[in-house]
Amino acid sequence: GAVVSQHPSWVICKSGTSVKIECRSLDFQATTMFWYRQFPKQSLMLMATSNEGSKATYEQGVEKDKFLINHASLTLSTLTVTSAHPEDSSFYICSASPLRTEAFFGQGTRLTVV
Amino acid sequence: AQKVTQAQTEISVVEKEDVTLDCVYETRDTTYYLFWYKQPPSGELVFLIRRNSFDEQNEISGRYSWNFQKSTSSFNFTITASQVVDSAVYFCALSVHGSGNTGKLIFGQGTTLQVKP
């Protein structure tokens, strides 16, 4: 199946700093990628849709200025958590899909803000 | 509105027992996709199955089987002869209507399955 790689797997950062998470489709091109967030023992919630060459589409309640998404190429989308705070600590996971097939997920990134 | 409900928060069974995980969905779309994913403690999501709304055939894959019933908006997942390695969180998901890209999903709350030896 298609491979989506996410980096880093885990990161610890200080409150107030920014963290960048990368999501790459390794063997297919993805004009669209999706970013989800999962708090402990909860479900995955869609944060935003990343569109190659254009602005991301954010779900209601997600601060676009805090969660910056850049989809500069057909194989890479990045999520930057700006001025991170402890409440941003979560599991972030991206997905992409070759058209009309199932979504493939990255390994996820566990962010801890201290 | 589109919604997925997994009413069972946690299920505990003894190895070799059969177990069914329930999933009920809501959508006004006539074309949609349903999925099941497994999430082990490591966190990654493992794809198990995709089913489109026009295909109500039940499916069996080894010890896994799925029962899709549009009449009751359900897509239940059964593990036969469960094993300890089946212990994980299982998510049912619904694709949001779009141009065919099934990457945008609405997830249920998840069911934590614990299989004891």
Mutate: best of A105, A109, A110, A111, partner B, most B CBs <10 A? A105
pLDDT value of residue B93: 95
pLDDT value of residue B29: 86
DSSP secondary structure string for all residues of B18-68 = -EEE--EEE-S-SS-EEEEEEE-TT---EEEEEEETT----EEETTEEEEE
pLDDT value of residue A54: 87
Query: Tokens for A101?
Result: 């097939």
Q: Do B103 and A103 touch (CB under 8 A)?
A: yes
pLDDT value of residue A56: 93
What is the pLDDT confidence band of residue B67, given thresholds at 50, 70 and 90?
very high
**Alpha helices in A32-91, H assignment, sequence order:** none
Q: How far is CA A58 from CA A30, A44, A77, B24, in A?
A: 18, 15, 14, 26
Separation between Cα atoms, residue B49 and residue B47, nearest integer Å:
6
8-state DSSP, B6: -
pLDDT value of residue B63: 95
Query: Is residue B100 scored above 60 in pLDDT?
Result: no
Closest CA to B65 of B48, B49, B78: B78
pLDDT value of residue A112: 97
Q: Do A103 and B100 touch (CB under 8 A)?
A: no
Give the burial string for A32-60 (b: 16+ CB within 10 Å, else e): bbbbbbbeeeebbbbbbbbebeeebebee
Is the peptide bond between A98 and the residue preceding it cis, with omega within 30 degrees of 0? no
Residues forming a β-bridge with A35 = A48, A94
Query: Is residue B27 scored above 80 in pLDDT?
Result: yes
Q: B25 vs chain A: nearest CA distance in angstroms?
A: 15
Q: How confident is the prediction along chain A (114 residues), in pLDDT tens digits per residue?
A: 678 999 999 999 999 999 999 999 999 998 889 999 999 889 999 999 998 888 999 999 999 999 999 998 999 999 999 999 999 999 999 999 876 667 889 999 999 999
Q: B72 vs chain A: nearest CA distance in angstroms?
A: 23
Q: Are A92 and A7 in contact (CB under 8 A)?
A: no
Query: Is residue B44 scored above 50 in pLDDT?
Result: yes
pLDDT value of residue B99: 47
Query: Is residue B101 scored above 60 in pLDDT?
Result: no
Q: Give contacts of B105 with chain A, Cβ < 8 Å.
A: 34, 44, 46, 95, 103
